[in-house]
Amino acid sequence: MVSLNKIILFRTLILGLVCSGIGDFCQAKSPAINFKIDRLEDTVLKEVAEGDYRIMVAGEPLDRLTGAEFTALREQELKLQNQKPADAESKRKLNALLIAMARIADEPTLIYLHELFESYPERRNDIAEAISWYAEENQRRDADWRVLVRSLNVIEGDQAKAVMRALTRFRRRSNKAQWIRQAILVGLEQDAEGQQIADRLLTHWTGQQFQSESNSTHPLMQQWQDWFASNYPDELPAVLPVEPADSRWKYKDLLAELQQQTKATLDLKLGAQAYVKANCVKCHRFGEQGEKIGPDLTYVSRRFQQKEVLQATLFPSHFVSEEYPTFTIVTQGGKTFTGMMGAAGQDEILLLTEDGKRQVIKKQDVDEIIPVKKSAMPDGLLNLLTKAEAVQLIRYLGTLPEGASDKYRHKLP
């Protein structure tokens, strides 16, 4: 008779062989987070359940912060943020700490989280997720609503679900087309559960309801796309950007390359050369370099994530700033010119065309000015660059040029 121990050993060996052969089938969960908070006696951050992070003091969850506790947690957060190298485990701890702080946040803690959101665009996903926990479990404030809505430009996956769930709990609703469009775009990139959450948020904001996919001939998010096109015909359509057939570089490939970069691989010289080679200097100012006709990019790293800058470069008409609209001017002689309008003489209109040229038109010669749902920035600029140049261009724009103020950054005491 085979012993019970031998049977258990045999099953364990078989399971091990199966898991080693089918990695995705038997993926192990990441270990639960549990680490001590410096300068606070008998205090740890503990993952009490999967994704449920709490500050524990002598084994009991902390339910509010005092000044001393906030100071210690802030220093812990700064230390994790500046940890070298910034590995996956330290990033998990940092995300967990932000969530745990937000759940029991007082006014100084919330102010600090908002400062982080403004100072560190690359961390906005985590900070928005943390603030969504506060909004779910505590009061819902207008200031937090604004942060969560702005985060719709960058959040993805489960963090997007958390933010959208929180937004449905606010009484305040968005009636701006750009945010309704963005919620649709977020939903389009979600799984079935996330699309249902996006649908609830859009219904909360607009009052419009659609049938579920099982009762409709059109997928849920497509119904929202059709509704948006019908109700906002003058806005950019709520569709995800499509890679041009002649695009030399693909968004996902360049984004993956960017995410693998480290501080040691930053090549400012190559990035500066690419800035000129891609003709960015013809329209944009970066420090002391370039023209001032288009948006000033000096502080773009303080406003947007690198993936946003990359997306705006590859798909310039996916989002067109209200500050820099594009127009087509038709002259009385039948000529047409398209671009951004700039300051010129009293009786003239300056138009910056897609090829970076300045076109001056006499006002008396203008027959019609037509708004255009397209960026004046031309497509295919990165086609002029090698892959290394394209990556270093985005990283170059992710730095502050010489002479630019670094006042927005907070540092370790």
Which three-class secondary structure string do you get for the chain? CCCHHHHHHHHHHHHHHHHHHCCCCCCCCCCCCEEECCCCCCEEEEEEECCEEEEEECCEECCCCCHHHHHHHHHHHHHHHCCCCCCHHHHHHHHHHHHHHHHCCCHHHHHHHHHHHHHCHHHHHHHHHHHHHHHHHCCCCHHHHHHHHHHHHCCCHHHHHHHHHHHHHCCCCCCCHHHHHHHHHHHHCCCHHHHHHHHHHHHHHHCCCCCCHHHCCCCHHHHHHHHHHHHCCCCCCCCCCCCCCCCCCCHHHHHHHHHHCCHHHCCHHHHHHHHHHCCHHHCCCECCECCCCCCCCCCHHHCCCHHHHHHHHHCCCCCCCCCCCEEEEEECCCCEEEEEEECCCCCEEEEEECCCCEEEEEHHHEEEEEEECCCCCCCCHHHHCCHHHHHHHHHHHCCCCCCCCCCCCCCCC
- According to DSSP, the β-strands at 52-57 and 43-49 are antiparallel
Q: Which pLDDT belongs to residue 359? A: 82
Residue with tokens 């049938």: 211
Q: Which pLDDT belongs to residue 233? A: 92
Cα separations in angstroms, 223 against 190, 212, 218, 227, 229: 15, 10, 6, 6, 10
Q: Which pLDDT belongs to residue 384? A: 94
Q: Which pLDDT belongs to residue 7? A: 37
Check if the beta carbon of residue 279 is closer than 8 Å to that of residue 384: yes
Q: Which pLDDT belongs to residue 409? A: 52
Q: Which pLDDT belongs to residue 214? A: 60
Q: Which pLDDT belongs to residue 397? A: 96
Sign, CA dihedral 266-270-273-274, equals negative
Beta pairing partners, 368: 330
Phi then psi for residue 402, to 5 deg, are -55, 130
Chain-centroid distance of CA 68 in Å reads 33
Phi then psi for residue 136, to 5 deg, are -70, -40
- On whether the pTM is more than 0.85, the answer is no
Residue with tokens 């031998």: 6
Beta pairing partners, 53: 47
Residue with tokens 């065309």: 353
Q: At what angle do helices 67-81 and 107-119 cross, to 10 degrees?
A: 20
Give the span between the Cα atoms of 144 and 186, in whole angstroms. 19
Structure tokens at 81: 């943020």
Give the span between the Cα atoms of 153 and 146, in whole angstroms. 12
For 199-204, which contacts have Cβ atoms below 8 Å and span 24 or more sequence positions? Answer: 199/224, 200/164, 200/168, 201/164, 201/167, 201/168, 204/167, 204/168, 204/173
Q: Which pLDDT belongs to residue 217? A: 63
Give the span between the Cα atoms of 244 and 410, in whole angstroms. 40
Q: Which pLDDT belongs to residue 28? A: 53
Q: Which pLDDT belongs to residue 407? A: 60
Q: Which pLDDT belongs to residue 11? A: 42
Tens-level pLDDT at each residue, the chain (413 residues) = 444 344 334 444 444 444 444 444 444 567 899 999 999 999 999 999 998 999 999 999 999 888 889 999 999 999 998 887 778 888 999 999 999 999 999 999 999 999 999 999 999 999 999 999 999 999 899 999 999 999 999 999 999 999 999 999 999 999 899 999 999 999 999 999 999 999 999 999 999 999 776 655 679 999 999 999 999 998 999 999 999 888 999 999 999 999 998 888 999 999 999 999 999 988 889 998 888 777 899 999 999 999 999 999 999 989 877 667 788 889 888 888 887 776 677 788 888 776 667 788 888 888 888 877 778 788 899 999 999 999 999 999 999 998 777 665 544 33
Check if the beta carbon of residue 65 is closer than 8 Å to that of residue 105: yes
